[in-house]
Amino acid sequence: MTNIPFYILIFFLQELFALVVFHFIRRYFQKQNSAITAHSWFYSITKGILERLFIFMGLLNEMPMIIGFFGALKLGTRLDADKNNRVTNDYFLIGNIVSMLIVISSYLIIKQVID
């Protein structure tokens, strides 16, 4: 319990890093497909933060199965999406992989520092 401020700091730094990374990813894919701008910027950022918080909390509580659960949720919400649009599918895939890499890296940093 005494590590909570440290966890919050790591999560905050993780989210700052994610903002920068996703800015460049979004710009790259917007050049290829203007449909990516359909969702508001604030909505996308808020959703990403909640997703990463969900995974982060699961990993901190020693529940690695949260990653599989999260994957199933993401897939379930994507089933009716446009399967023929390669750009938005690539954007979806790359965005999720980068999010997972950021959260898992933060978790591993915490484990290295605490252990």
- Spans of all domains in the chain: 4-114
DSSP state of 60: H
Res 84: pLDDT: 63
DSSP state of 81: S
Alpha-carbon distance of 42 to 35, in angstroms, equals: 16
Res 27: pLDDT: 83
Of residues 75 and 52, more confidently modeled: 52
Summarised one tens digit per residue, pLDDT across range 58-89 is: 999 999 999 999 888 887 777 666 666 665 77
Residues in the chain: 115
Summarised one tens digit per residue, pLDDT across range 2-37 is: 789 999 999 999 999 999 999 898 888 877 766 555
